[in-house]
Each structure stands twice: as structure tokens, then as C-alpha cells.
Amino acid sequence: MTGHTAGPTARLHAALAAATEDSLVVDLSGVADRCAALRRELPGVAIRFAMKACPLDDVLSCLAARGVGVDAASPGEIAQALHAGVPAGRIHYGNTVKSDSDIAAAHRLGVRDFATDSLEDVRALAVHAPGSRVFCRLATSGQGALWGLSDKFGCGPDDAVRIMETARGLGLTPSGLSLHVGSQQMTADAYQRAFEQLGDVLTALRRRGITPDHVNLGGGLPALGYLDRHGMPLDPPLDKIFTVLREGIRALRREHGDELAFLVEPGRHLVADHGALRAHVARLALRRTPQGEPLHWLYLSCGKFSGLYEMDAVQYPLVFPTHPGAPTVPAVVAGPTCDSDDAYSHEEGLVQVPENLASGDPVWVLSCGAYATSYMTRGFNGFAPPRPVCTGGPASAGGLGEGPER
């Protein structure tokens, strides 16, 4: 977090200014605009929203109206996506961790595309989702990302070939490969390495008579509004990332057939910068460290357990709308609960906050539209979570549908 004053969009600004209580405000028009921009960068690539990033019905419906599908991780998410208007044919079960009952439930709901990364899971899919399509998730290093995701998911190239051969032998369709380069990926090199890995495995599969029809490039596309440890805006090389993605897609199609389809699974890239928390000041207090040094603490009404769970890894811009240009003091920022982890500071520098903040003053926490609702508790320590509010819903799909998938 920081006192950086880069403001939200006009739509989001107006909604935050109008809020009189703690709220998570999501600008649906901004989400739709980001989706349209992604399509311009990656034409012909299908989009499956990683709904765990912002599982609000209005967000799902907004994207569904634009032809976006869903990457779901449980039968509960699948059911919610269907209710929001996402057709079953545009939903895949992207979680490689699935119980027998969850596989069967997803199959009953109409899902026919399942991620996998183990022989045990493939055997369970053959029993509880017979005839389905499976895509095998490859492991990546996660290097260059804020969250690497390199331990729990994915398998190596040799295991991937065995898994796909087993799937074929059990009557499943070995339909694709997938990977994930890590959440908030800050390098283009990670995507370059991913394409090299995909090419090797596709070649090995072809030698065994298996020709997948699609490649799922996963998530990882970064949000743009976060700040670095010194309170300066992060600068993810998004243009370079998109260039590598387009070039990699062309290269794989040259080698493995122009009919090879591609998907991406953006989550935070679509929603992070178009959501903000309207919180308020609980107290600005001057305390002393155990060494006797004076230190300001800014206690907010929202913290790690009410939408800002990622505050250890991500810095969000803070705006103090009633104190523009006021003198500031360095402070530790903390949430309201009786949990010592519900606080945030960095050795490189504390957050600059207005010195005359008073209890009840509004505070806007920007670029926190991703994972805020997912990580909220139901009321830890009795503090109610902020109320989600969606604003700026587009009137129509406006021709933004994804159309036929390659």
C-alpha cells in the first residue's frame, strides 16, 4: 500500500465518491473494456475467465454476454457460472485436484473438458466422466511471477505423455495441453519458455499418434495498477508479453497445424484494476516501538481478512479523497482485527498518509478487484466484510463476442 494518488477511472471514481459505507466497487464497463483490449491483442484466442479472481454474478454475466467462458475449479463455481449465463460448452474444469464426487457432479452439470496432471486423476475421470476431453497441465518454474504456482500443479513432459496415452486407452479424448506461468507474471521470458516446452511435448505426443486440438496458455497476465516496494507504479512489459504470445502461437501452428486452437485464462488481468475498496479510517495513532522510537499506525476498517489478503505480496495505491495535498507522515497500515498478521509495512519505507486523518475519513484502496471477494472472511472478529457493488454495466455485448473458436 502507498499514498500514491494515481486516481481510478471516472466511472469508478464516481462510484467510490458516492459510497457512504465500506464497499467493494467493481466497474463492469472497465472489465468489458479490458476484455475487448485483450481480444485485440490476441485475435482468435478464446478467453476463459478464471472466476476465482472475482466470483460476482454481475461480473460473470458481463463477460458471458461477450462470449467469454469460465475456468472453474469446483462444481460450485460451475453451477454459479451456468446460472450467470455461461454455457456449459464454454466452461472447463481447470483444477487438477478433484474428488470422485466432484468429477461426477461436474459431468452431470454438462462439463466435458477437464484438466489433469496425474494418472490417478485420469483413471477417476474415465469412471466418473466417461468420454470426456482431458487436457494435461505441464509444470512451469513460475520464475518472474509474484506467485509462482510451481509446486502443487502440473507434471513433467514424460509424465504428460504417459497421462495422455492412458487417457486415450481409457476412452477419454486427449484433447489438449495447458500450463500456467505464475500469477502476476512480470516477464515475457516466462512465456517464451512455455512455448518451447509446449512444442516439445506436442512433438512427443504426435510421435505416439496423439494430436491435441488445443493449447491452454493459462493465466498470469498482469494487472497494471500495483506498486513496487518503493511506492512507484509497477511496469509489467505487457506489450512484449503479447508479442511473445502472438509469435509463439504462430510458431506452434506452423509446426503442428493451423487448426490448433488456443485459450487463455485471465483472472486478475481483467478485474484487478477495475475494482476498489471504499474503506474508512479507524484510527491514526502514534505509538512507540519496543526500542522507544515513535511510529505512526494507520488502522483501516478493511484489512487482510476483509478483501486485502494479498497485501503481503501486492501494494495497492491508497487515495485519501478528503485530504488532497495535505502534509503527510510515514505510517504502518493495518486492518482492524486482533491478528498481528493483519498489518502491512516494508523495510524500504512506510506509507505516506495525511497527518490530520480522523476516524471515519474515507480511504480508497485501488486495483484490488482481484481476489478481494474470494478471500473475504464472513466476519472475522465480528467485522463484516465490505458489500460488493457493481457499477457501469455495459448495455449490450456490442459485437464483442468471441465468435467461432479455432
Give catalytic residue positions: 338
Dihedral-angle region of residue 344 (phi above 0 means left; psi in -120 to 50 means alpha; beta otherwise): beta
Calpha distance 133→118 (Å, rounded): 15
**Cβ atoms 268, 53 nearer than 8 A:** yes
Calpha distance 319→3 (Å, rounded): 6
381 DSSP 8-state letter: G
227: cell is 506498486
Burial of 152 (0-12, 13-18, 19+ CB in 10 A): exposed
Q: How many CB atoms are located within 10 Å of the residue 20 CB?
A: 9
Buried b (16+ CB within 10 A) or exposed e, 94-118: bbbebeeebbbbbbebebbbbbbbb
3-state secondary structure of 84: coil
**Cβ atoms 167, 130 nearer than 8 A:** no
The position carrying cell 483413471 is 123
Largest CA distance in the chain: 71
**Cβ atoms 59, 26 nearer than 8 A:** yes
Instruction: Write the DSSP assignment of 273-331 as a string of letters.
Output: GGEEEEEEEEEEEEEE-TTS-EEEEEEES--TTTT-GGGGT-BPBEE-TT-TT--EEEE
113: cell is 473438458
Calpha distance 404→19 (Å, rounded): 41
Calculate the CA dihedral of residues 333, 338, 341, 344 and round it to 10 degrees. Answer: 0
